[in-house]
Structures are given as structure tokens and as C-alpha cells.
Amino acid sequence: MRGDFHLTLRAAAIFMKNLKWWQKTAVYQIYPKSFMDTTGSGTGDIVGITQKLDYLQKLGIGAIWLTPIYPSPQVDNGYDIADYTAIDPAYGTMADFENLISEADKRGIKIVMDLVYNHSSEKNSWFIESKSSRTNPKADWYIWRDAKADGSAPTNWRGIFGGSAWNWCEERQQYYLHTFAVQQPDLNWENPEVRQALYDAANFWLDKGVGGFRIDAITYIKKPAEFVDGEPDNKDGTVAIHKMTANTPGILYFLHEFKKKVFDGHDIFTVGEANGVAAEELNQWVGDDGVFDMLFEFSHLTLAFTDGEIWCYPRKWKLTEFKKALSDSQIATKENGWCPIFFENHDQPRCMNHFMPEGADSIKAVKAFARILMTLRGTPFIFQGQELGFTNVAWDSIEQYNDISSRGQYELSLKEGFTSKEAMDFVHFFSRDSARTPMQWTSGENAGFTSGKSWLPIHDDYKTCNAEVEDKDADSVLNFYRKFNAFRKDSEVLMHGDYEELLQDDENIFAFVRSLGNKKIYTLVNFTPDKVSFDAGFLNKAKKIFGNYSTTEKGILQSTEAVVYEEEF
Ligand code: NOJ
């Protein structure tokens, strides 16, 4: 029997060697506009990121995903790109960027760029040329269609930020499609010249030495062969574009080509943002025959949406749905593939407010999420501020919100007949600005983020919730992240172990076990503010290694308690 264990461990050790660098490390996502301002402009910059590399190294991360830093009118905070191979002067220069790569490299950290290839900015020279006539060389680089006979938009599709997904262009006397904002026209991937231009831009960044790519909104690049009206899902007669164009058959042809012409042969990782890909399809997208290394799949984050992307009518979700969503992707990638584990990013509410019950202790709750993040199988993605325990903001009026999507969804809620108070409640729950408030470095002026006027208000908890204070507190969320990240890296069980969900039907507790050879690591989290009990037979021989309460009783979990147990047999 013991011999078997040794064999299993030896096999695991061989496998361990085969893990790629990006599987062994955690990735940190930076929203550069809100990270660190060194010029007093009120927005963060590349030099600011370089200055904070030591902080990130101490956190133990091995890669930084930067949301877009290319020249952009900033209608969607950089997800509207005017030039794919340059740096927005607001963030600095190409020399600053090259210096960031080299300084990060000295600390064992890679820089990962965001590729926004479903659409560009309307200010991109490609679009300016495309819209100038129906016959120019780039006339077919975007999605142009004639009006319906009555002059209305070609279809009733509603853009993700609200309103029609079509916009009229006087010069061409045609409509163009925009999945997101009017200022973000969709590129025409059917045109090989467009695809080649996009691949060339990605190769430009590879030549600079980047360590990978996050690929934005990729499930929207392939449009259906015919553009037809959909069944309205809204009182204004529109249907969410997502239902009509996401993950259209044929998309993988483009993505295999993308992989071959750009990613293959480089020691990088790719992670696609793939809303609309179900767990059972994951194998076609990731793993040996897939197109990306990892996929951001959103089923655990969209549980509160009643329908597509609409914020109105937030639905009450059950814990079993959340657990199933996570377990499905763990299981789907078990033999082949790898998951990015994520609960926050720049588009999501803070996880404490998103998933934990009202009244929960916020420090305990964010630490509980950190435990799940670090013990599931996959690469943990930490979004800036998550390691400090940031929570949502709830500003009084919609005018205080910068996020284009918050404004669009607010209008949509009013049109649906909700009061402005109700519409603001939706904004408070879902707004992307909650993730975008500036980093809180110190208890000093503007939380040490800027010496000027911050582009977005700073959360009013910054005097107690900041990197300086938390660095000195051994029990802080920050120090917890540092400790647990280091623990994960050294744990063969967490790197390679199998995943199994426990207490599957329990609506209060998320419990799972990771097993390898003669070792098991159990994670148990109480998602309620109450004391709950469970049958703890399986924990008989297990020893607690981490918890957010000083004392723990097997079979009982206190309010938002999270415990990690280890067992060796
Ligand atoms: C997804 C990005 O994460 C989000 O911030 C952006 O608004 C849309 N894609 C459009 O690019």
C-alpha cells in the first residue's frame, strides 16, 4: 500500500515538473487608471506600476495582467482602442513600458496585455477610413449593413451597454454594428486582412517580451451568417445581442488560426474572456486541442442576472447553483485543460458584496473567498484591491458614476418602470465602478494614489483599509494573501490534486477536497451569517491548517467561517 503511495507521489512529481510557469503562480490584475499616479494627473500610470513591483513581488504573484493601456478616447476606459501598437500618453511612453517589462522580469514577474479584438474605437484610423465611403480599401473592415425598408436599424439587437447595437453613419448611409458602446464599432473578422492586422499587433507585443494575453470579449467575434430580428426580451422591443451573436459556430476556425499565427511556439499564456461558453464546451477551447490556455467562463458570476446582461430584476441565486458552476468547470478541465480561478475583475462588484450575505463580517468574508481562490484547481487571479479586502461603493446619484455600463443600465431600469431609487439600488449592486476605485496605498491624502484630483472618488474606508496599514498587521487580509499564496505554491496537492465537491446539496456550505497520493486538503466555507452544522465524519483525521476564527469545532461553522484542513494517511 505504502509503495503505491510512493509511486503516485513519484508520478505526481514528474507531472509537477511539467506544469507551466503560469499554472504554478498567481496572476494579479491591474486596472492602470486606478493603480498608482506618479504625475499628479489623477490617473494612474506605467511608472506607478513599476514603483509598486516590490509590493507585488512580496504578494508572490508571477504575472500582471494590465487592462488596456493603448491610445484610447477612454469611452470605455481603454476598451476602445485607437491604436493597437502604441501606449496612451496618459499612461506614459513606450520606453516606460519597456522599462516595466525589464524591471518586472528582474522580480520574476511577466507582463500580460489585454487584446480587445472584437471592436476598436471609432477614433481608430481603420474605422475612420472604413466609414469614409463604401469603396475605400478598408470599407469592409467593420460590419456595415443597409437600413431596413423603413429606415430603421437592420435588426432589433440591443448592445451590451443598452440601446440599439446599430448606429447610423451619414457618410456611408449605412448602419454599423457595435456590440458594446456606439464608439466601439465591431471589426469584421470574416475579412482576412483584418485578422492579419490584429495578429500583427499581437506579435508586436510579443516582440516586446510580454508574457501573455488576455483576450477580450472573444466570443462575439464571429457573427451569424444572416442577421435577423430576435424574440424581444425587453419592453422596447429589443433583444440582447448576446443571445444572437455569442459563440456562433465557426468561431473556433478563427481562433485556431490566431493561435497558429501568434501564440504557438511562445512561452506565454493566453486567457480568453468567453462569456457564453458552457462548461461542456470547455474542452474545445482549452487543453491540448483548444485555442487558449485558459478561459474566463462566467457562469458563477452571472447568477444574479435574470436575463443576459440586464441589471433590472436581480434574481436570488442559490448556493448550490454557485457551487455547481465552479464544480462544472473544475470537472470539465480535469483531464485536459486548466481553469483561471477568479471572483473579481474590473467588471464585477467586489466579491464580499456580490456573494456574501448582508451583515457578514467583511474581513472574514474576503478571507473566506481567498481560501476558495487559492485552493481550487487552477491559476488564481487576484484583482487589485482584492488582496486588501476592498468592498463596493454606493454613491448617491448616477452622475457620480463614470462607468458607461452603469449609466446605460440605469436608463434601462427607468424605461422598465423602476423608480430612480430602485435603479440606483441596481447600480449599487452591479456597478463596475466598485471595482475601479483607486488603490489605497496609505492613510494619507488621496490614499497615496495621487497628489492631484483622483479621476474616480476614493473609497471612504481608505484610512483603515490600505496597503501600509495592512502590511504591519499580521492578521490583515494582505498578509493572509501573502501567506496563502506561498502555501499554494509549495503544495503539490493544491497544484495537482484532484477536485471533489463535498456536501453537494448543502445550501449554506461550500466544501471540497483536493487529493493527491496520501494527502488531502479540505476547504469549507459557510456562506451564511449564521452558525451552521454539518456531518463532519470525513474530517475525522484532518487537522486545521488555516481558519478565520481562532477556534474551530468540527461539524460546526460559525458566521462566514472558512476553514482549510489537511489530512495525511
Ligand atoms: C469586457 C471588458 O472586460 C469590459 O471592461 C469592456 O467594457 C468590454 N469587454 C468591451 O470591451
3-state helix, strand, coil in the chain (%, to 5): 35, 15, 50
Q: Is 298 in the pocket of ligand 1 (CB under 6 A)?
A: no
Atom of ligand 1 nearest to the CA of 432: 5
From the CA of 345, give the closest atom in ligand 1: 3
> Of the residues 273, 328, 387, 403, which is catalytic?
273
**Ligand 1 contact, 217 CB (< 6 A):** yes
* Ligand 1 atom at minimal distance to the Cα of residue 404: 7
Which residue stretches of 248-332 are H helix?
251-258, 282-285, 319-332
Q: What is the DSSP letter of 164?
A: B
* Local structure of 362: helix, strand or coil: helix
Ligand 1, pocket-test mutation among 76, 114, 119, most atoms within 8 A of CB: 76
Q: How far is the CA of 523 from the centre of ligand 1 (A)?
A: 32
Active-site hit among 216, 309, 387, 470: 216
- Residue with the smallest CA separation from ligand 1 atom 10 is 79
So what's the pLDDT on residue 164? 96
- The minimum-distance atom of ligand 1 relative to the CA of 116 is 11
If you measure from the C-alpha of residue 216 to the centroid of ligand 1, how many angstroms do you get, rounded to a whole number?
A: 7
Can 122 be counted among the known catalytic residues?
no
pLDDT at 3: 46
Ligand 1 centroid to Cα of residue 379, in Å, is: 21
Residue with CA nearest ligand 1 atom 6: 79
Alpha carbon nearest to ligand 1 atom 2, residue? 216
Residue 347 alpha carbon, nearest atom of ligand 1:
5
For ligand 1, say whether the CB of 116 is within 6 Å of any of its atoms: yes
Q: Would you state the cell numbers that stand for residue 170, as one nine-digit string?
A: 451619414
Active site residue 229: no
Q: How high is the pLDDT of residue 245?
A: 96
Q: What is the pLDDT of residue 63?
A: 98
Task: At 222, give phi and psi (nearest 5°).
Answer: -95, 120
Based on its alpha-carbon atoms, the radius of gyration of the chain, rounded to whole angstroms, reads 24
pLDDT of residue 162: 86
Distances, alpha carbon 265 to alpha carbons 257, 259, 269, 567, in Å: 14, 10, 11, 40
Angle at 61 between CA 468 and CA 72, to 5 degrees: 85
Residue 180 Cβ contacting ligand 1 at under 6 Å: yes
Per-residue pLDDT tens, the chain, 569 aa: give them: 444 545 455 555 544 558 999 999 999 999 999 999 999 999 999 999 999 999 999 999 999 999 999 999 999 999 999 999 999 999 999 999 999 999 999 999 999 999 999 999 999 999 999 999 999 999 999 999 999 999 999 999 999 988 999 999 999 999 999 999 999 999 999 999 999 999 999 999 999 999 999 999 999 999 999 999 999 988 889 999 999 999 999 999 999 999 999 999 999 999 999 988 888 888 899 988 999 999 998 999 999 987 666 788 888 999 999 999 999 999 999 988 999 999 999 999 999 999 998 888 999 999 999 999 999 999 999 999 999 999 999 999 999 999 999 999 999 899 989 999 999 999 999 999 999 999 999 999 999 999 999 999 999 999 999 999 999 999 999 999 999 999 999 999 999 999 999 999 999 999 999 999 999 999 999 999 999 999 999 999 999 999 999 999 999 999 999 999 999 99
Query: How many Å apart are CA 422 and CA 179, to the nearest integer?
Result: 26
The reported pTM is 0.95
